[in-house]
Structure 1
Amino acid sequence: MLWTYIIIFLLAAIPFFEIVTIVPIAIIGGVPAVPVMIVAFLGNMLTIALLILFLDKIREWRRKRKGEEQGSKRHKRAKSLWDKYGLPGIAFIGPFFVGSHLSAMFAIIFGGNKRKTFYLMTASLFCWTVALGLAAHYGFDFLIADEENLGFITRLLNR
């Protein structure tokens, strides 16, 4: 069972898998919900924290080297969306639509403070993890009332 949690941790850390897909799949697969949510959250947050630190260093280096630049039409459009919704909007809505890694990247690129970005992304990922975990756990139990159904992951591991 340890390998299951290691795989969940690693998949949650990979962009585009993340908690949005891994948590429901693992819970529906029969892995206990609470450990899945904890392990997936930690896996996703590890890479988000590293990404925020790395991108902040690159942004500072680039700013010192080139100074402020005007940017393209796309950059201006993206910046206007940033000005409209801000860091909380990107942090809480972004993980579901574009993934947490891209959301963190956009937040840092458009000038978000690394500490504030980290805290808001942590809160956002916690909320998404709990919401998706509860929805997968209770929603699947509601649809499948069979007490013998252990889930495909558990059956695979018991072979």
Structure 2
Amino acid sequence: MRTALAALLALGLVAPWPARAADPIVCPEGTRPGVTEKAAEGTLRWCERPGPGGSIRHGPMLGSYPSGRRRFEVYFVDGTPRGPIRAWYDNGQASAIGETRPDNGTLTLRDEAGRRRAQIDVRARQVVTQAWDADGREEKYEEAKLAKALAANRDLSFIMNLFAVGIGIQ
């Protein structure tokens, strides 16, 4: 078990805690940091490269809460979310952990207590969903019920949209 967790940590698929917003953004070669957006909800930073119609997001996009805790991390390739998607509640608990690839991806949603509440798997554009109640029992996946259970996740619709775009179903 320890070996498996160590492997996941090394791959960056599971983080023991979110990084701080003050951590520098590291942009891939040929890109530059985008203009940092600050709002009452926190800060948004990203990497971009020049494109024919303007800047194209390429590399990490990092969101943070006003508290300084990391809110989400998404990686873009040529303007499309690709690779890991991770998000956290302000209390430090993971709210979403997933990955996107063309026509494939997985997204696991958790509540503020860290309990797994839903998982969306897409393979060859076929969607399979699972859901669990607060006690960990499997239940029918219902978006309205899930939205209520995850009401504290203010980024849920944003993360779901990035996931859909990343796998090409939106």
Q: Place the TM-score, normalised by the shorter chain, in its bin.
A: under 0.3
Whose Rg is larger? 1
TM-score (norm. length: structure 1): 0.27
Instruction: With a CA cutoff of 8 Å and minimum separation of 6, indicate the structure with the bigger relative contact order.
Output: 1
TM-score normalized by the length of structure 2 = 0.25
Question: By percentage of residues, which structure has more helix?
Answer: 1
Structure with higher strand content: 2
